[in-house]
Amino acid sequence: MSGYSLTKMIRIDGSMLEGGGSIVRNSIALSALFNTPIELYNIRAKRSKPGLRNQHTYAIKAISEICNAKVEGLRVGSEQVKFYPGKIQSGEFKIDVKTAGSLTLLLQAIIPVAAHAPDPVKLLMKGGTDVPMAPPYDYMHHVYVPIMKQIGVEITLCFGRRGHYPKGGGTLSCDIEPVLRMKPIEYKFDKPQKIKCICGKAHVVQLPKHIADRMISAAIKKLKEHNLEVDVIERDCPEPKYDTHVGPGTGITLWACTNHGTILAGDGLGKRGLLAEKVGETAATNLISQIKSERPIDYHLADQLIIWMAISDFPSVVDTCKITLHTLTNIEIIKQISNAEFTIEGSEGNPGIIYCEPNYIRKSN
């Protein structure tokens, strides 16, 4: 293994806790960050189709290219992979998942690694931007990226076109600047939380524009039932002659800015047979539940912050609307790969506070 870490390999059970693809993505990212070889086994063993799917293989390929890794067992359907990380490098990387596999899930795994390259990293990506079981593009742009800036991670995210299930074909670019020194991740506040504004975006491609208006109207109606006023919800509906999307799709993302400087969010994704009004109502209901919890960090973001807490230069605290099984799984992975110490106040499915004492020391390559 000349040129690769000689550190003892860590074995990670891919069926533990949540048992899904996030174990693959986060384990590989942490392996690269801590320069520690890992073996993943029982990959997605609890799923109806166990083993790696297409999007998981591309996540591993992308991270392996960025950190000059050697990989064994990388193929669709594989239930065991060995990953030997090398030195993280900068540059431009093209990623085409060939399907509607989620680009936002890929970004969540790749960005922490890319941010520790010596120079900027540019990602040119093709796949799904707004697909089920993944953060929509507008969530990444209006929630994830601003919060990353608060903790010292500079990201520029732009999309060319959206990609929906099942055809995909969405395109985006992401520029990540090197992290010189992270800022503290401190999202626990004593003063009461207030909502400063509620905004959003509804998109429709290759379908009638009135679908966007119906999603927006339903969302506003639901929010007003809870005495929540909306500032603006934009419509993203390209003219047919300029609509280059590969397939039809709709969705709406809402976000609420708090007096703490944090951002809560809710979203809904359209599908055949689902009324536009139901999509808008779903997004509003998701946002309302997070606002009513009076916690500064939404549960999706809390899950995404876990890896950053482990590699921070400071102790971290995150007060979140809900502790999810995804979050608990990510914490367990980090505990196996690093020396970070986590303390949790609260239980799965309920609001809680997550504390982390990091011990992030980059090993020499």
Residue with tokens 């039809």: 248
Spatial distance between the Cα atoms of 325 and 70, rounded to a whole number of angstroms: 30
Spatial distance between the Cα atoms of 171 and 218, rounded to a whole number of angstroms: 29
What's phi and psi for 61, nearest 5 deg?
-60, -45
Over its length of 365 residues, how does the chain's per-residue pLDDT go in tens digits?
334 455 689 999 999 888 888 899 999 999 999 999 999 999 998 888 889 988 889 999 999 999 999 999 999 999 999 999 999 999 999 999 988 999 999 999 999 999 999 999 999 999 999 999 999 999 999 999 999 999 999 999 999 999 999 999 999 999 999 998 899 999 999 999 999 999 999 999 999 999 999 999 999 999 999 999 999 999 999 988 888 899 999 999 999 999 999 999 999 999 999 999 999 999 999 999 999 999 999 999 999 999 999 999 899 999 999 999 999 999 999 999 988 999 999 999 999 999 999 876 544 34
pTM of the model: 0.93
pLDDT for position 46: 82
Q: Which strand (E) or helix (H) includes residue 258?
A: strand 249-258
47: amino acid identity, one letter? R
Q: In the annotation, is 326 catalytic?
A: yes
Cα distances (angstroms) measured from residue 82 to each of 31, 76, 309: 11, 14, 25
Please report, in angstroms and rounded to a whole number, the separation of the first and last CA atoms in the chain: 12
User: Is 148 within 8 Å of 167 (Cβ atoms)?
Assistant: no
Spatial distance between the Cα atoms of 2 and 5, rounded to a whole number of angstroms: 8
Rg over alpha carbons for the chain, rounded to the nearest Å, is 20
- Which residues contact residue 251 at a Cβ distance below 8 angstroms, ignoring those fewer than 6 apart? 130, 136, 138, 202, 203, 267, 268, 269, 270, 279
Q: Which strand (E) or helix (H) includes residue 40?
A: strand 38-41
Cα torsion at 337, 52, 308, 6 (round to 10°)? Answer: 30
Q: Using DSSP, state whether 67 is helix, strand or coil.
A: coil
User: What is the DSSP track for 214-241?
Assistant: HHHHHHHHHHHHTT----EEEEE---GG
User: Is 213 within 8 Å of 235 (Cβ atoms)?
Assistant: yes
Q: Which residue spans within 115-221 are E strands per DSSP?
A: 121-127, 155-161, 170-176, 186-187, 195-205
- Which residues contact residue 113 at a Cβ distance below 8 angstroms, ignoring those fewer than 6 apart? 29, 32, 33, 63, 66, 67, 88
Considering 116, 141, 260, 326, which one is annotated as catalytic? 326
Alpha carbons within 13 angstroms on the beta-carbon side of residue 202 total: 27
293: amino acid identity, one letter? S
